């Protein structure tokens, strides 16, 4: 659930900000909404895959589409500190979609659900001109584990749970029909949520988001919602050797993939200085009182102007 996209439309914001029900703990704008149901806290989210926009059947198998659909939603739920529990599956299929495609799709979803202990409790199938896989996921969270985007504090350090840019490198390899690089390509067609990496030290995290649209974009979201700014340490952004190698072959900068690419599904989180020794992860920046997101590299600071997936696509 991306506030960036939703923010494009003023009315949506006006309407959804009206949420006044006592059960609505966090409304639109975070990775997931938070509801208090029957005295417990639940997060609900929805994310959609559209054929040729979020996956191409040229390089995805049906199973991989199914797995990705679950992983991206599990990542949204998990990056709130919650445990994914239930999923609803809405499919738009084409008139000529084969049963074997649907079987593969569900097999992929089931495999991913099994990993997390998620139950598919319902769904809907209808017809259209392109395949759309929309997943709604409900997770449960203890109040003290709930992590938001809006609670970063000036001075917090910004950490990321793992190396970035590999999924984007994989996509670029597919688009440019480069052979080999199977590990990098796999990161694109079989993305995995990574929120389990921060489970052990959730209580020390002040704010959190998953990386679906590139580090620059996610840090910007945290800053906008927390009413702070940030400095990203460009040279600290973790890159895997095979991502760098793929970028080299593609004559591009792997750091651009990490900053402006997407779908790594690592988590970005902020931690106060005093708790820094209690957490793991790669330190990639710091939250500042000064608004705006800037990038620091070798003594120079640049304002972030272009960010996120759109930039990358260009």
Binding site for its own copies (CB under 8 A): 1-2, 5-6, 8-12, 15-16, 18-21, 23-24, 27-28, 32-33, 35, 37-40, 42, 44-48, 50-51, 53-54, 85-86, 88-90, 92, 99, 102-103, 106-107, 109-110, 117, 119-130, 132, 134, 136, 138, 140
Residues with Cβ within 8 Å of residue 187, at least 6 apart in sequence: 166, 167, 169, 170, 264
DSSP-assigned letters across all residues of 16-39:
HTT---TTEEE-BTBSSEEEEETT
Least distance to its own copies from the beta carbon of 257, Å? 21
Least distance to its own copies from the beta carbon of 39, Å? 5
Bridge partners of 120, per DSSP, are 87
Question: In whole angstroms, what is the distance from residue 209 CA to residue 268 CA?
Answer: 5
Least distance to its own copies from the beta carbon of 278, Å? 31
C-beta of 10 vs 299, nearer to its own copies: 10
Decide if 112 contacts 74 (C-beta within 8 A): yes
Least distance to its own copies from the beta carbon of 149, Å? 13
C-beta of 134 vs 163, nearer to its own copies: 134
13, two tokens: 């914001």
Least distance to its own copies from the beta carbon of 301, Å? 33
Residues with Cβ within 8 Å of residue 227, at least 6 apart in sequence: 291
C-beta of 11 vs 274, nearer to its own copies: 11
Question: In whole angstroms, what is the distance from residue 70 CA to residue 192 CA?
Answer: 9
C-beta of 39 vs 299, nearer to its own copies: 39
């Amino acid at each position: 659930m991306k506030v960036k996209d939703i923010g494009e439309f003023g009315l949506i914001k006006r309407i959804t900000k009206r949420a006044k029900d006592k059960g609505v703990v966090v409304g639109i704008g975070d990775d997931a909404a938070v509801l208090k149901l029957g005295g417990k806290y639940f997060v609900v989210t929805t994310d959609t895959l559209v054929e040729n926009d979020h996956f191409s059947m040229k390089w995805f198998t049906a199973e991989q589409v199914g797995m990705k659909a679950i992983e991206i939603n599990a990542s949204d739920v998990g990056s709130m500190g919650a445990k994914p529990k239930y999923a609803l599956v809405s499919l738009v299929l084409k008139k000529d979609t084969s049963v074997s495609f649907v079987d593969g799709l569900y097999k992929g979803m089931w495999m991913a659900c099994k990993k997390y202990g998620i139950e598919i409790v319902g769904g809907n199938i209808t017809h259209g001109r392109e395949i759309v896989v929309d997943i709604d996921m409900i997770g449960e969270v203890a109040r003290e584990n709930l992590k938001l985007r809006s609670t970063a504090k000036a001075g917090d350090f910004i950490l990321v749970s793992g190396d970035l840019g590999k999924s984007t490198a994989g996509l670029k390899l597919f688009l440019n029909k480069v052979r080999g690089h199977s590990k990098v390509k796999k990161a694109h067609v079989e993305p995995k949520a990574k929120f389990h990496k921060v489970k052990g030290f959730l209580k020390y995290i002040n704010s959190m988001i998953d990386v679906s649209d590139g580090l620059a974009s996610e840090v910007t979201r945290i800053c906008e919602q927390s009413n702070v700014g940030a400095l990203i340490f460009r040279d600290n952004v973790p890159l895997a050797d095979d991502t760098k190698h793929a970028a080299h072959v593609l004559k591009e900068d792997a750091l651009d993939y990490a900053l402006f690419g997407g779908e790594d599904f690592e988590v970005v989180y902020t931690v106060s200085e005093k708790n820094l020794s209690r957490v793991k992860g790669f330190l990639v920046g710091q939250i500042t009182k000064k608004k705006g997101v800037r990038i620091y590299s070798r003594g120079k600071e640049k304002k972030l102007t272009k960010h996120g997936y759109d930039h990358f696509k260009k």
